[in-house]
Chain A
Amino acid sequence: MSGRRDFLKCLAGGVVAGFPAIIPSSALGRDGYVAPSEKIVLGAVGVGRQGSGDMRGFLTQPDVHVAAICDVNQATRERIATVVNTRYGDTACAQYNDYREVMARSDIDCVLIATGERWHPLIACAAARSGKHMYCEKPLALSVANMKAVREAVNENSVAFQFGTQQRSSFYYRHAVELARNGRIGELKTIMVGSVRGPNDTLYGTPKEPPPGFDYDMWLGPAPWAPYSDMRVSIAAWLFISDYGLGCLDGAWGIHDIDIAQWVANADRTGPIEVEGTATFYTDIRDVPHEYTVEHKYASGVRLIHMDMVTARKRAPEFNALPSTGATVIFGTEGWIFVSRDGIVTNPASLAGEKIGPNQIQVIRSNDHRRNLLEAIRSGQKTICPIEGAVRAQTVVQQEYISLSLGRKLEWDPVAEQFKNDAEANRWLSRPMRSPWTL
């Protein structure tokens, strides 16, 4: 189930037929603002809470035409297809239950991938092999092996890839990174990341039959089988069940600021070489770390410390600079920088307003994450969050999860992309998939 052939005949029953895959000319080049030939036709796969927001963002782009919606929840896909059709004033938006139907459409140039992360590598590889560019939500995958598979597929098929860590397209983060890289806080010593702490509640569900219109087998996809419950498929739970997600350590926040830490450390093609930490784990329906402190060391000696935000605030008062749910604090020998989605605070205070000119180190400028992808599709340039950086940032999170699960310090070889002399830890770098899925 990893090829690019027309698979439709393999699907037996339960398939939702798409509407005719024809885009009426009236839907293209509206108002003459963008020539029809310049439209990028997009299919959105996974349009739940995150995906529908992403899709709406693309819907407002003048040079994008959303042609297909795919979701395993019939009610969701119908609702979101209506949003698209209302925008365009027609009924042309196709609806699919199975992402492979989207990949089979040669008229679709680009896909938005915003399903659960267990699915991301399969869909991303299929997209790349179908020649489709992609905006892939974070996390990239649940294992290093799968991340690397996406990297290979993206590079081998020369498609543009934008990772959904959109903080890089914000002035605050870019400025913080440029201040740090230009030595404005002296020598870089430590990067601390505070990620929102998961809720202090207790969740259990009641196993039952999936409701009509919800394709649970496709929802599970490559993940191990478990009985359906409304709780299991709710975002409050699944994000925190290790078969589907790693909670606040990863997709529920952590990857955002770990990505920034990697950017600060200029480590998009490498990563930390050591990891160790402590954690408590959920033990209800969820099973991922809840409270945690994980420390990494880069080869340069720079330390990266990732904590849940409650722990972070206790450990470093700088996290109180703004009342943010997640933040990064960068410490140098001569000052520090707090940065979050709410703003940037520095010590000395004057740093925040300093300009980084063209004669200093500047990173790629992007003020709109989606536009950055659309421009990359045309220019052939790398996006601001390319696959290489995505894999390395996600690898940091994987290192953390594996070290916390094994309860010991691990050493990482960033060239071989595996743990050093540790066969047991290296077993965690891949995850078997439920049949028939594979990469």
Chain B
Amino acid sequence: MGQGKVIAMRKTYTPICALALLCPLALAQTANLDDLLAQTAKWRYETSRQPLQALTELVAKAQGSPAGVRAIEQKFIAFLKSDATAGGKDFICKQLSVMGSEASVPVLAALLADPKTADLGRYALERIPGPGVDRALRETLAKTGGRTRIGIVNTLGVRRDAASVAALRPMALGAQPAEASAALFALAKIADPASLAVLSEAQDKTTGAVHADAAEAWLQAGNRLTERGNAAAAVPIFKTLYAAKDPGTVQAAALRGLANAGGAQAAPVLMEALRGNDARLQAIAIGGLMPGSAGQLIAEMPKLSEAAQVRILGLLAERGDGTALPAFTTALKGSSKPVRMAALQGIGRVGTASAVPVLAAIAAGDDTAEQAAARAALGRIPGKEADQAVADGIASAAPRVRLALIRAAGDRGAPAAAPVLLKMARDADPEVRRESLRALHDTGSANDIAGMVALVVTPVEAGDRSEAVKSLGAVLRRSDPSAIKAVVSAYTPARDPEARTALMQVMGQSGNAEALVILRAALNDPAGESEAGAGARRAAILALTEWPDVTPVPDLFATARSASNPAHQVLALRGALQLIALPAPSRPPRESVKMLAEAMGMAKQSDEKRAVLALLPKFPVREALDLANASVNDREVAAEAKAAVSRLERTVRNR
């Protein structure tokens, strides 16, 4: 960090009270203030802001003491009268903007006279409260022109200065387009009876581009009236602008304003727009009618355009109103693909169990987009009844529909479907078996573990095992640890090597303490040194590699170091690296690097060294950088080492 680049800001401050200004501490602060102001008086853009930041803090410290703040304000006022730099004055004006009072008005108003300083003065004045500011702005209005005058008009609007309406009227109706536009929008912000009268008058007395602005400004004023609770006054404005149709964007927004403010008066206008040919008005009418007249919208649907039907279905779905379900099921039977897609995308939010069969049929259809949308909808319809409908349909459905329902059961994580999925996992159709095994991943529970173990031990085909292992591992991870007993009970007597290997995999994925004892025993079984026992040891290594944390890393390191079989050494080392790469926020990065250093010491092949180097940037500490640097001169892995060093240098420095 550059020297003195940042200044510490304390959490709390002791307010300076007026009396305290007389105490030695306060005197010291005053001296500090003078010193900082002297520095600020010379400040130019693109030089150090340290004195400015210190002044900001000093003002903050003075909070809570009106007299203290006013004392500082007096210093700032004097500053603005001095020959300080433009940058310094700019900064002080920004300060006054958030802490100044009417005392600052004369000096700030004086800045408005010069186009070069007008924005500075107005920046400060706009946020200072008090009628004195408004008065000064109004008085200056007549004496200025161009951008300065427009700026003042803008500020009067922001301040909603009702007293300025008389001055704004001639500008709003005048011949200068830019001034007229600014005045019209200032009047829209004020939105009191006098300004509304001018805005109404402007609708007839302006032309061309200014007329469009007059319409927009009147519209905005109408919206402000609604916002302030005066909808009755807003409705005639919206009706007039809607009828005028010019410009079209204002007409559309007026319809929206009418929908918000008009209550019963709005309904006929909205219905007319709904039945009309203007797509934009139609869209707004749909939005306006939806809250109170959804039934009418549904009834109108068959007569409306494709786009309008899509929009109605979209908004019905967003409301999540189950009574609208028939509109969706009807739409699903229609000939328009966009409408069918809208129905499919929305039915997940409004559907019930009754929609399951039709969705399953579409999910089993030939249209890829509709298939995907139907599947998503099947996975989204809420309710246990929908779970049951999915489960109930699986056994009796036609083959493709059955697959769709099996997938839906998995997507829903529906426990009700697990029993039938266990049966389907032994179906003659390999696709049905595979999908059922997959679905068990998210539907299975402790009650299903015995059945799932059986699927691992005696699958219909050996190829089914990998899915069965994955799903059983997932169910075990979310079950009570005692559930592992079913796996252990099957493993101990099993003689089929493939079944034992698969059960070891399951145990590895479970992360269960009892399973770890068994896997360690398999790993360290002396028979693993023999050709006959090599397969079992390999299986134990691979199972431990699937462990959910680094617990087995020492076991794998020991195997990597001492196994006589080179393949086992390599597998164990790679497995350990895989575990070290797992996220482990509670483990300090240095511990991970220590393990990686140990792995690097054992790595005999460049592939393993590269794997270690690839992992190092995950642990941005000095030790990782040192370890990467140590390999920079190793020709086999120099490129990877340099890449790791480069990344670590950046990240270690930033921490």
Contact = CB atoms under 8 A, between A and B. Distances in A.
Contacts of A317: 585-586, 588
Contacts of A282: 5-6, 49
B345 to A, nearest CB: 8
Given A156-B256, A379-B310, A424-B98, A226 B45 contact: yes
Interface string B294-330: 0000000000000100110111011000000000000
Contact of B286 (A285, A291, A380): A380
B10 interface: yes
A3 B185 contact: yes
Interface in B369-396: 376, 379-384, 386-387
A310 to B, nearest CB: 6
A408 B12 contact: yes
A380 B287 contact: yes
A283 B53 contact: yes
Contacts of B459: none
Contacts of A321: 583-585
Contacts of A424: 63, 98-99
Interface in B93-122: 94, 97-99, 118-120, 122
Interface string A90-134: 000000000000000000000000000000000000000111000
Given A3-B213, A3-B217, A380-B315, A408 B63 contact: yes
A421 B270 CA distance: 42
Contacts of B249: 4, 129-131, 157
Tell me which of A231, A321, A438 has the highest count of chain B C-beta atoms within 10 A of its own C-beta: A438
A438 B160 CA distance: 13
Given A157-B256, A283-B48, A435 B154 contact: yes
Interface stretch (A47-55, A162-170, A195-203, A392-400): A195-203
A205 B46 contact: yes
Contacts of B623: none
Interface string B240-258: 0000000111101100110
A438 B253 contact: no
Interface in B134-159: 147-148, 150-151, 154-155, 157-158
Interface string B571-585: 000000000000111
Contact of B216 (A3, A202, A291): A3
B97 A4 contact: no
Contact of B380 (A7, A206, A358, A381): A358
B250 A206 contact: no
Interface stretch (B76-84, B174-182, B535-543, B635-643): B174-182
A227 to B, nearest CB: 5
A359 B307 contact: no
B618 A278 contact: no
A174 to B, nearest CB: 13
Contact of B317 (A131, A205, A381, A432): A381
A276 B584 CA distance: 31
Contact of B10 (A4, A158, A278, A343): A278
B16 interface: no
A430 B155 CA distance: 12
Interface string B631-655: 0000000000000000000010011
Contacts of A408: 12-13, 60, 63
A438 B380 contact: no
A197 B653 CA distance: 12
B241 to A, nearest CB: 12
Interface in B202-253: 208-213, 216-217, 219, 223, 227, 247-250, 252-253
B474 A353 contact: yes
B442 A291 contact: no
Contacts of A310: 654-655
B53 A281 contact: yes
Given A9-B209, A281-B53, A435-B154, A381 B477 contact: no
B380 A423 contact: no
Contacts of A354: 478
A427 to B, nearest CB: 5
A276 B589 CA distance: 31
B1 interface: yes
A389 to B, nearest CB: 15
Interface residues of B, number: 120
Contacts of B50: 283
B2 interface: yes
Nearest to A316: B585
Contacts, number: 272
A204 interface: yes
A28 interface: no
A318 B219 CA distance: 52
A205 B44 CA distance: 11
Chain A contact patch, size range: 35 or more
Contact of A338 (B6, B250, B338, B585): B585
Contact of A6 (B10, B13, B209): B209
A433 interface: yes
B9 interface: yes
A310 B531 CA distance: 53
Given A6-B209, A158-B252, A202-B2, A379 B342 contact: yes
Contacts of B211: 5
A94 to B, nearest CB: 20
Interface stretch (B20-28, B123-131, B427-435): B123-131
Tell me which of B53, B213, B219, B583 has the highest count of chain A C-beta atoms within 10 A of its own C-beta: B583
B548 interface: yes
Nearest to A422: B63
Contacts of B208: 5
Nearest to B54: A283
B132 interface: no
Tell me which of A202, A290, A349, A358 has the highest count of chain B C-beta atoms within 10 A of its own C-beta: A358
Interface string A396-439: 00000000111110000000000000011001101011111110
A403 to B, nearest CB: 10
B57 interface: yes
B280 interface: yes
Interface in B533-554: 548-549
B549 A281 contact: no
B123 A432 contact: yes
Contact of A284 (B48, B286, B315, B348): B48
A363 to B, nearest CB: 12
Interface in A218-261: 224-227, 229, 231-232
B5 A350 contact: no
A152 interface: yes
B620 interface: yes
A85 interface: no
A382 interface: yes
Contacts of B528: none
A283 B583 contact: no
A62 interface: no
8 contacts: A2-B181, A129-B216, A156-B223, A280-B6, A317-B588, A380-B286, A380-B314, A424-B63
Please give me the 4 A-B residue pairs with the lowest Cβ-Cβ distance, nearest first.
Answer: A379-B314, A435-B151, A202-B2, A5-B212
Interface of B: 1-2, 4-13, 45-50, 52-53, 56-57, 60-61, 63, 90, 94, 97-99, 118-120, 122-123, 126-127, 129, 147-148, 150-151, 154-155, 157-158, 177-178, 181-182, 184-185, 208-213, 216-217, 219, 223, 227, 247-250, 252-253, 256-257, 280, 283-284, 286-287, 307, 310-311, 313-315, 317-318, 338, 342, 345, 348, 376, 379-384, 386-387, 412-414, 442, 474, 477-478, 511, 548-549, 583-586, 588-589, 617-620, 651, 654-655
